[in-house]
């Protein structure tokens, strides 16, 4: 039993002399540090104690992986939504990281297998194209006269497009060649006014050239891919030679060494990228 503080204070007022009993009751009103304070003597202790979890409940809480799933991410990320994932990516600075196709979403880059597939398709297409180019080159290297004739026809059409158009107009009108006026002037030829006269002149000149060529070979043509030895059978050391790229149509510089009257050796400054047309004319 404790003595009220006001009573104790009255015993120790100035001029008073506390008795032995008052001293005893004063000290009995407080707990000595050597004595334990009973729990029931602590106000509110019981209620406070009840608010704490038991050791068993605390251990169960530690073992419960879902205890804070509403606030913390699980180790396997099962409780993260798409919004959570995007937020984490933005926070970590990896929102632009490349992704590949998965079962539930499309990626933004191709996998190595996909890239290899594309490359294989391109390789196959390139092989086919290379084969076609090689076939064309082989044909151009051949001595097929029809190819030369075809090129001559194309060149003639390009050079005489206007005259051909005029001829088409006259043919549509059912005109005859002795009624078709010749557009060009040919000062070195005889007086020519109509198409039939022009045709006769051309025929005669071509015939003269063919007759002269039949008596003596004056020209030799061959296609090469680089430094070559050419046998022309023109039986001369005096000739002129022309070389041009069959793709770009540019004249190609080259060196010529005469082996004998029927054989030469042509040398290029560098390996030509395309087929070269050689024309040798006897002079």
Residue 142 has pLDDT above 70, yes or no: no
Residue-level pLDDT at 179? 60
Separation of CA 157 from chain center: 42
Taking only the tens place, the pLDDT of each residue in 15-29 is 888 899 988 988 888
- H helices then E strands: how many in the chain? 9, 6
Residue-level pLDDT at 200? 76
Tell the residue number behind the tokens 């992704």, with chain if given. 99
Residue 244 has pLDDT above 90, yes or no: yes
- Contact between 207 and 199 under an 8 Å Cβ cutoff? The reply is no
pLDDT band at residue 56 under the 50/70/90 scheme: confident
Tell the residue number behind the tokens 């009995």, with chain if given. 28
Strands 239-245, 276-282: pairing kind: antiparallel
- Can you tell me the distance from the alpha carbon of 191 to that of 199, in angstroms, rounded to the nearest whole number? 13
* pLDDT higher at 239 or 140: 239
Taking only the tens place, the pLDDT of each residue in 180-202 is 666 666 666 667 777 777 777 77
Segment 24-46 shows an average pLDDT of 82
Residue 40 has pLDDT above 70, yes or no: yes
Q: What's the chain's Rg over C-alpha atoms?
A: 56
Taking only the tens place, the pLDDT of each residue in 66-82 is 777 777 888 778 888 88
- For the chain, what is the mean pLDDT? 79
Q: Quick one: DSSP state of residue 141?
A: H
Separation of CA 53 from chain center: 65
Say if residue 191 is exposed, middle or buried (CB neighbours under 10 Å; 0-12, 13-18, 19+): exposed
- Contact between 228 and 274 under an 8 Å Cβ cutoff? The reply is no
Separation of CA 88 from chain center: 32
Q: Quick one: DSSP state of residue 265?
A: E
What's phi and psi for 228, nearest 5 deg?
Answer: -150, 160
- Can you tell me the distance from the alpha carbon of 198 to that of 206, in angstroms, rounded to the nearest whole number? 12
- Among residues 106, 73, 103, the alpha carbon closest in space to that of 88 is found at 73
Structure tokens at 137: 């080159």
Say if residue 246 is exposed, middle or buried (CB neighbours under 10 Å; 0-12, 13-18, 19+): middle
Structure tokens at 175: 């005109």
- Contact between 225 and 277 under an 8 Å Cβ cutoff? The reply is no
């Amino acid at each position: 039993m404790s003595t009220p503080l006001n009573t104790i204070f009255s015993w120790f007022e100035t001029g008073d002399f506390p008795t032995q009993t008052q001293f005893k009751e004063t000290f009995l009103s407080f707990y000595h540090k050597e004595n334990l304070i009973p729990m029931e003597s602590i106000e509110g202790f019981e209620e406070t104690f009840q608010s704490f979890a038991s050791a068993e409940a605390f251990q169960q809480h530690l073992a419960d992986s879902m205890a804070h799933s509403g606030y913390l991410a699980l180790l396997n990320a099962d409780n993260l939504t798409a919004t959570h994932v995007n937020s984490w990516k933005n926070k970590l600075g990896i929102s632009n990281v490349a992704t590949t196709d998965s079962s539930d979403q499309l990626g933004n880059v191709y996998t190595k297998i996909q890239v290899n597939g594309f490359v294989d398709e391109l390789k196959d297409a390139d092989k086919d194209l290379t084969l076609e180019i090689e076939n064309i080159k082989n044909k151009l290297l051949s001595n097929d006269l029809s190819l030369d004739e075809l090129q001559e026809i194309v060149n003639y059409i390009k050079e005489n497009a206007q005259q051909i158009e005029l001829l088409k107009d006259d043919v549509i009108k059912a005109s005859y060649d002795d009624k078709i006026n010749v557009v060009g002037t040919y000062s070195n030829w005889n007086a020519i006014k109509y198409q039939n006269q022009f045709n006769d002149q051309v025929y005669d000149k071509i015939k003269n050239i063919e007759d002269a060529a039949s008596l003596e070979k004056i020209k030799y043509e061959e296609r090469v891919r680089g430094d070559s030895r050419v046998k022309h059978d023109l039986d001369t050391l005096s000739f002129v030679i022309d070389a041009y790229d069959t793709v770009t149509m540019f004249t190609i510089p080259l060196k010529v060494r005469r082996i004998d009257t029927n054989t030469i050796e042509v040398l290029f400054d560098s390996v030509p990228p395309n087929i070269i047309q050689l024309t040798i004319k006897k002079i």
